[in-house]
Amino acid sequence: MTAPQESSITLSLFDLYKIGPGPSSSHTIGPMRAGGHFRRALAALSAEELLRGERIEVRLYGSLSATGKGHGTDRAVLAGLLGFDPEQCDARVLEDLAEEPNKAHRIAAGNREFLFALNDIRYEGTIHNFPWNNTLVIALRGGWSTSEEAETILRHVYYSVGGGFLVVEGEEDPPRPAPPHPYRTMEEFRSLLQRTNRSLPDLLLDNERALTGIDTAEVHRRLDRILDVMEAAVDLGLRTEGVLPGSIGLRRKAPLLFRRSYSLQSDPNHAVVLLNAYALAAAEENAAGHVVVTAPTLGSAGVLPAVAILMARQGRVPRELLREGLLAAAVVGFLVKTGASISGAEVGCQGEVGTASAMAAAFLAHVNGYPVSVLENAAEIALEHHLGMTCDPVGGYVQIPCIERNAMGAVKAYNAYLLASCGDPSAQKVQLDQVIRALAETGRDMSSRYKETAEGGLAVCFPQC
Domain boundaries in the chain? 25-162, 177-464
Distance in angstroms (rounded) separating the CA atoms of residues 412 and 359: 11
Query: Is residue 54 classed exposed, middle or buried when 0-12, 13-18 and 19+ CB atoms within 10 A define those classes?
Result: middle
Preceding peptide of 296 cis, ω within 30° = yes
The continuous run of DSSP H or E covering 350 comes out as none
In contact, 377 and 166? CB cutoff 8 Å: no
pLDDT in tens, the chain (465 residues): 333 345 799 999 999 999 999 999 999 999 999 999 999 999 999 999 999 999 999 999 999 999 888 889 999 999 999 999 998 888 889 889 999 999 999 999 999 999 999 999 999 999 999 999 899 999 999 975 555 678 999 999 999 999 999 999 999 888 889 999 999 999 999 999 999 999 999 999 999 999 999 999 999 999 999 999 999 999 999 999 999 999 999 999 999 999 999 999 999 999 999 999 999 999 999 999 999 999 999 999 999 999 999 999 999 999 999 999 999 999 999 999 999 999 999 999 999 999 999 999 999 999 999 999 999 999 999 999 999 999 999 999 999 999 999 999 999 999 999 999 999 988 999 999 999 999 999 999 999 999 999 999 999 998 644
pLDDT of residue 186: 98
Tell me the helix, strand and coil percentages in the chain, rounded to 5.
55, 10, 35
pLDDT of residue 173: 84
**182: which DSSP letter?**
-
Distance in angstroms (rounded) separating the CA atoms of residues 216 and 201: 11
Amino acid at 140: L
pLDDT of residue 155: 97
pLDDT of residue 363: 98
pTM for the model stands at: 0.93
User: CA torsion, points 33, 36, 37, 42, in degrees to nearest 10?
Assistant: 160
How long is the chain? 465
Amino acid at 136: L
Domain 25-162 belongs in CATH node 3.30.1330.90: yes
CA atoms within 13 Å, Cβ hemisphere of 370:
25
Print the SS3 string covering the chain: CCCCCCCCCCCCHHHHCCEEECCCHHHHHHHHHHHHHHHHHHHCCCHHHHHHCCEEEEEEECHHHHCHHHHCHHHHHHHHHCCCCCCCCCHHHHHHHHHCCCCCEEEEECCEEEEECHHHCEECCCCCCCCCCCEEEEEEECCCCCCCCCCEEEEEEEEECCCCCEEECCCCCCCCCCCCCCCCCHHHHHHHHHHHCCCHHHHHHHHHHHHHCCCHHHHHHHHHHHHHHHHHHHHHHHHCCCECCCCCCCECCHHHHHHHHHHHCCCCCHHHHHHHHHHHHHHHHHHCCCEEECCCCCCCCCHHHHHHHHHHHCCCCCHHHHHHHHHHHHHHHHHHHHHCCCCHHHHCHHHCHHHHHHHHHHHHHHHCCCCHHHHHHHHHHHHHCCCCCCECCHHHCCCCCHHHHHHHHHHHHHHHHHHHHHCCHHHCCCCHHHHHHHHHHHHHHCCHHHECCCCCCHHHHHHHC
* Strand 55-61 relative to strand 122-123, pairing: parallel
Region for 154 from its dihedrals, namely left if φ exceeds 0, alpha if ψ lies in -120 to 50, beta otherwise? beta
pLDDT of residue 147: 59
The residues pairing with 156 across neighbouring beta strands, listed in sequence order, are 138
* Strand 135-141 relative to strand 152-160, pairing: antiparallel
Q: Which of 126, 133, 139 lies closest to 77, judged by CA?
A: 139
The values of phi and psi at residue 218, to 5°, are -70, -40
pLDDT, one tens digit per residue, over 88-102 is 888 889 889 999 999
Q: Which of 7, 88, 30 lies closest to 344, judged by CA?
A: 30
Distance in angstroms (rounded) separating the CA atoms of residues 48 and 54: 12
The continuous run of DSSP H or E covering 353 comes out as helix 353-367
With both helix axes pointing from N to C terminus, report the angle between 319-339 and 186-196 in degrees, rounded to the nearest 10: 130
